[in-house]
Amino acid sequence: MSFSDLKEDLGRYHVLLSKEPSLYKLWGIVSTEGIWVLISYRLGRWVRYELYIPIVKQILMAFTLVLHAVLRIITKIDIPFDVEIGRGFYIGHCGYIVVNPHAKLGSYCNISPGVIIGEGGRGECRGVPKIGDRVYIGPGAKIFGPILIGDNVAVGANAVVCDDVPDDAVVGGVPAKILSYNGSKDFVVTRE
Q: Is 123 exposed, middle or buried (0-12, 13-18, 19+ CB in 10 A)?
A: exposed
Whether the predicted pLDDT of 48 surpasses 60:
yes
- Does residue 68 sit within a domain? yes
pLDDT at 15 (0 to 100): 52
Provide the domain count of the chain: 1
- Does residue 192 sit within a domain? no
- Does residue 134 sit within a domain? yes
Of 179, 177, 91, 178, the C-alpha closest to 137 is 91
User: Crossing angle of helices 33-49/54-75, nearest 10°?
Assistant: 150
**Confidence class for position 86, pLDDT limits 50, 70, 90:** very high
- Does residue 191 sit within a domain? no
Q: What is the CATH number of the domain that holds 157?
A: 2.160.10.10
- Does residue 189 sit within a domain? no
- Does residue 97 sit within a domain? yes
Residue type, 78: D
**Confidence class for position 188, pLDDT limits 50, 70, 90:** confident
- Does residue 145 sit within a domain? yes
Whether the predicted pLDDT of 89 surpasses 70:
yes
Q: Which domain holds residue 95?
A: 3-180
**Confidence class for position 59, pLDDT limits 50, 70, 90:** very high
- Does residue 186 sit within a domain? no
* % of the chain with per-residue pLDDT over 70: 90
**Confidence class for position 2, pLDDT limits 50, 70, 90:** low
pLDDT at 31 (0 to 100): 75
